[in-house]
Structure 1
């Protein structure tokens, strides 16, 4: 950790210099440019800021440049291809680099690996026709293209790269058609991703020439027409994702040729006709998603016979008819089954009881009739069951009490008799029974009429027995996408390491574990209290590591839904600047009461609110947040929101952004946490556990909630932008939203907006003004230079305040997008560094 000493440039004979995966910070010294014999420079995964020194691009011997996963800004030099004639690998992923990819890069004919993804590069992608040895090309997650219909013409230049195995251009702004020349790409190509762009037109039949493809990802574009029959030639495919396009026609029988398929996504298109029974040949499938199309006919028994399916099977929101095939019982390893939103009928087959691994079962919005089969009592792993909006009848089975259900919907059927009172039926939030007019009894929260017959006497289950029943808690695992990027070595970046297969990443914790870890939930370990519970510091025996433990107060209205919402969000996402959930606990305490908790990575520097508004004791012992630290934290929060809003498969709205939900690690990096009120957009999705119309409304916190929510407007990403704008204003003014000065219609937004017109210094936190004055005293330049510097820093502050004001406009239409706010703040940080670093 620390800075690289400038004296490193004196090691004139140095050929390899590697500091990757450390905590080095500061700027990369210009003196590295003196190392005229340097061949490999590896600085990946540190905390370097500012720009890549231009002197490095003048080391003609350099073969490998690795500066990925830092906080670098600026761009690549226009003459890169001429000044680095021997360069073989360029790795700059996960930074804040901007500008175009230099056209001269084509002259670097020795290039083998280009990994510049997760930056802010823009413009047209140049030709790579002179580069024949390229095997790895990754430019995903930038802002490239978007200017003309020929955006993808550069793909034709890659046909000269005869060793290409990895090609990823997804999550950019590319428009236009996929050129027919893709049929001439190297047959060595293993991974091809064009996802999340604005690509239109049809899928060229030449795609069938890429016979060694193992992963093809084109989801979320505007591709239309039929899938070419030649796709059946890709018999090595393991992952195929064509979802969220405008594809039509029938799902081809030739899909049955793809016998090695592991994951197949065709959802949200316009496919019609029947589901091809030839899919039965895909006996390695772990996941099949055909939802949200116009498919009709019966569910083929052969599909239910694919016993390898284990992650989920989704046939929801189509026009399928007939019964659920008896073969459903062969899905013994399946975790989730979605059949909702069809026209399926008859009784739910008893064979479904053989699905002992199933955790989620969705069959709502169909025409099922009769009782729930009693054999479902063997589905001990079931956590979510939704059978609403059918024609089911009979009494509600008692066995549902003994299952580990966290969410049960029986609404709008024809159930009758007494409502059970144990298990999931103890919570009117976790259980929905509305629309069953013949039900009676149950706990008072359900507001059902009393039963007019004497119920049979039930045997009481002791608290200890409950604990034994629930020893294996219903854990929600952390989903992590394997993304194994490395600077060198082809063996370490083979395709099987990059497949997005779901891996469970948790260890088991019980109520007893957490009780011990927190010293009996001692007040001395209490870190804070939130809307739905308390957070404690704890030391877990399993890992001997300090963690933060959030204990849900299940007596609070909305707490169980909050738990489910937070688990659903955090199990899906893993990203810098988002709080990392380690595991969960869902069971009973020693008295037999429901107990739910989340275990997070511990953040040693607490939350942002404590730093902005310290208590009297904290004020004396804690250093103050500097100007640069505040800018960095604001950028961290903006990065988190930008990911949630724009870079996940569906937008996620946090709904409760405020300083106390921004946690700071030991390096003062900001992490957004507390997703208890989070929402997925669109409002309903087949993958979402949370009932968006539930009683867990968009409450948020006073002062940070967007005004339109108060008038009943739908949840939107602009609501988060409003909260972010208020947070930025609070960070740089140092004023609480409930400051005594805010009365008679005056609020923080109006106060700072007026100060911009008058004197911005009136609105700036006095701590920051004092810091700026001290910086000025340390400068050794002439007086006129000092005035210029103060004016420049003042200009930066004005622009930052303007970001906060623009984000917190009352009208959502006037607010800027979070990406634009992020870009502006990054620009301000670059200017501030120019002043601060030179002192």
Structure 2
């Protein structure tokens, strides 16, 4: 049970009990916590086994932003929320609330009578026992942008014409109620709606012609109603991916374009007066088509046949020429590759991240923020980079990153799934990139654990660090030598290296990446060279600060610093580096006889424990330690050789990769055999 004594706490700023196994009722005292609503302003108790009503005292928490009590066994009347002004997330889904006839929706009236309820993004009331009419003012909440879900209740009456005010809404679910009369024509004003569910009601009449304006509509389900008339042709012109018209009273010819080309994506079963359409729908042939054909004279039929044949032959020849020309055109590879990407909208990303909730924030960079999200289209967990377009250079960074990412593909590069470039619900420019999600975060988080992380995750072993070094070297080798046009990353650092479930390294963030000058003439200048080289302090090659051109040797300098940081545990910006001393010279000075002082203490502890577990003589242990020292010295030498001040003195990535692979092979022999 939830302790009643929580109401006595004085400094509580965040309260969540979600996804547990709490039983009993919600204590009234919780909403008497005076400071609870100052910062986070969240009440989250979803996914438990709570019973009883929602306490009336919830209205005392007047500054609440989120109320989440979904997926419980709550009963009774929903209390008034007239005192809560800044609510943006209200979810009571999957309970047994309601059942008091005309008073069921009183809380909605109080909710909509709030003069400052202008931030409500989501209203989720489905799967309860609510009855009565839908308050028109609910449809006047223009702030609703994620979804409005009133499904699986016992609501009656008509759908208010005020539904047209929901111009920013992404999803509307009214299914499995007892709503009746016609679907109002004002619904055509909801141009942002992507999913509309009104099935299993008693709607009647025709589908409104104004729905032709709903250009964002992807899913429409009006099945199991009493709709009639012909199926509108405009449905074929919308961008629908799923359409259900089943079990109504539609009649006449079925359209044959757009969504109606697929009997898998379109359902029309149970409409006994429909005819025509593609053969896959197995509908009877329309009689009027046959009668028209019979009225045509024999001569006219012959002419129609000849003309149709000539047109058909011409089309076939044109198509053959088109495909032949396309196959021989180099640009076809890039255009066809774009089709592989998912198509996502601002609403998709808003919903995937819970309204860009701070709980899903993974990190903040120079040009934007990265969120964890769950895409509806794929049910994949992804990383979503939202560009801060108010930041100087963010738009150019987006263009540069898109230009690079569409040309590269390698197992050690973070994979981009799609991009989004459009407008948010306020009409502002919006740009985002969607990447595959890396469960183990960035390399920086592993090298420099904060206190709270020491108890939650293990530390990177010597062998894992060597493996990650090889992963990034492979990525650089690909970028520098095996791309269609050589690419310089320009911002190589631990925070831009992400680790997957197996702790394999993936290089990401190509916002500053550049194509080599000798390949520039193949690209539009404003797409490939518009981003000023900046990099990150401590990792950027010194020659860039003197105006030198971008080169692969600049990446090699950053890689050398990265290697030294990985095996010494020291950032290049550490306070100890001053008066001419930097990470390069510090590591170089320890190569003679002070190796242990340079190595990350975490690795030294691991090596000592490894020696203790080896069942060999003391001489063998000393030999093993000596061999590991040799490996570490070789790695430090690589880091030093890559980070020389002069670009001409730095190692090439190909030689670096070969040496690292040799060190790993040698190290594996010591660990397994030694």
| TM-score between both structures, scaled by the size of structure 2 | 0.51
1:286 aligns with 2:326: yes
**1:355-411 CA distance string (max 9 Å, x none):** xxxxxxxxxxxxxxxxxxxxxxxxxxxxxxxxxxxxxxxxxxxxxxxxxxxxxxxxx
Per the TM alignment, residue 665 of structure 1 is displaced from its structure 2 partner at its CA by 0.1
1:684–1:692 CA contact under 8 A, matched in 2 = no
**1:502-529 CA distance string (max 9 Å, x none):** 4621111000110111111111111011
Structure 1 CA distance for aligned equivalents of residues 638 and 345 of structure 2: 45
1:622 aligns with 2:457: yes
Residue 592 (structure 2) aligns with: 757
Residue 652 (structure 2) aligns with: 817
Residue 552 (structure 2) aligns with: 717
1:640 aligns with 2:501: no
Residue 799 (structure 1) aligns with: 634
**Shift in alpha-carbon separation, 1:757–1:584, aligned structure 2, 3 A:** same
- Counterpart of 1:587 (choices 414, 417, 422) is 422
Residue 554 (structure 1) aligns with: 389
1:681 aligns with 2:510: no
User: Structure 1: which 5+ residue stretches go unaligned?
Assistant: 1-279, 289-308, 313-334, 336-477, 481-500
| Partner SS for 2:631 | helix
1:790 aligns with 2:601: no
**1:721-772 CA distance string (max 9 Å, x none):** 0000000000000011222211111111111000112311110000111111
Map 1:639-678 to 2 at 5 A: 639-678=474-513
Structure 1 CA distance for aligned equivalents of residues 381 and 573 of structure 2: 34
Residue 612 (structure 1) aligns with: 447
**Shift in alpha-carbon separation, 1:693–1:508, aligned structure 2, 3 A:** closer
Q: Aligned-residue CA RMSD in angstroms?
A: 2.1
**For the pair shown, which has the larger CA radius of gyration, 1 or 2?**
2
2:407–2:484 CA contact under 8 A, matched in 1 = no
| Partner SS for 1:710 | helix
Structure 2 CA distance for aligned equivalents of residues 502 and 567 of structure 1: 13
Structure 2 CA distance for aligned equivalents of residues 666 and 687 of structure 1: 38
More helix by share: 2
Map 1:474-623 to 2 at 5 A: 502=337, 504-623=339-458
1:741 aligns with 2:572: no
Higher relative contact order (CA 8 A, sep 6+): 2
**Shift in alpha-carbon separation, 1:649–1:514, aligned structure 2, 3 A:** same
1:729–1:801 CA contact under 8 A, matched in 2 = yes
**1:617-664 CA distance string (max 9 Å, x none):** 112221110000000000000000000000112210000000000000
Structure 1 CA distance for aligned equivalents of residues 498 and 324 of structure 2: 42
Structure 2 CA distance for aligned equivalents of residues 575 and 479 of structure 1: 16
| Partner SS for 1:724 | helix
Structure 1 CA distance for aligned equivalents of residues 488 and 327 of structure 2: 27
Number of equivalences = 355
| Partner SS for 2:362 | strand
| Partner SS for 1:620 | coil
**Shift in alpha-carbon separation, 1:529–1:711, aligned structure 2, 3 A:** same
Structure 2 CA distance for aligned equivalents of residues 512 and 502 of structure 1: 24
| Partner SS for 1:561 | helix
**Shift in alpha-carbon separation, 1:762–1:779, aligned structure 2, 3 A:** same
1:776 aligns with 2:633: no
Structure 2 CA distance for aligned equivalents of residues 788 and 769 of structure 1: 16
2:470–2:661 CA contact under 8 A, matched in 1 = yes
**Shift in alpha-carbon separation, 1:693–1:673, aligned structure 2, 3 A:** closer
Per the TM alignment, residue 693 of structure 1 is displaced from its structure 2 partner at its CA by 8.0
- Counterpart of 2:566 (choices 715, 727, 731) is 731
Structure 2 CA distance for aligned equivalents of residues 559 and 553 of structure 1: 6
Structure 1 CA distance for aligned equivalents of residues 399 and 658 of structure 2: 33
1:696 aligns with 2:531: yes
2:363–2:371 CA contact under 8 A, matched in 1 = yes
1:827 aligns with 2:662: yes
**Shift in alpha-carbon separation, 1:684–1:833, aligned structure 2, 3 A:** closer
Residue 187 (structure 2) aligns with: none
**Shift in alpha-carbon separation, 1:556–1:684, aligned structure 2, 3 A:** farther
Per the TM alignment, residue 780 of structure 1 is displaced from its structure 2 partner at its CA by 1.1
- Deviating above 6 A after TM superposition, structure 1's stretches of 4 or more consecutive aligned residues are 280-283
2:490–2:513 CA contact under 8 A, matched in 1 = yes
Structure 2 CA distance for aligned equivalents of residues 692 and 745 of structure 1: 38
2:486–2:519 CA contact under 8 A, matched in 1 = no
**1:84-118 CA distance string (max 9 Å, x none):** xxxxxxxxxxxxxxxxxxxxxxxxxxxxxxxxxxx
Structure 1 CA distance for aligned equivalents of residues 321 and 516 of structure 2: 35
**1:2-60 CA distance string (max 9 Å, x none):** xxxxxxxxxxxxxxxxxxxxxxxxxxxxxxxxxxxxxxxxxxxxxxxxxxxxxxxxxxx
- Counterpart of 2:601 (choices 752, 757, 766) is 766
**Shift in alpha-carbon separation, 1:524–1:805, aligned structure 2, 3 A:** same
Per the TM alignment, residue 783 of structure 1 is displaced from its structure 2 partner at its CA by 1.3
Structure 2 CA distance for aligned equivalents of residues 572 and 587 of structure 1: 22
| Partner SS for 1:286 | helix
**1:189-211 CA distance string (max 9 Å, x none):** xxxxxxxxxxxxxxxxxxxxxxx
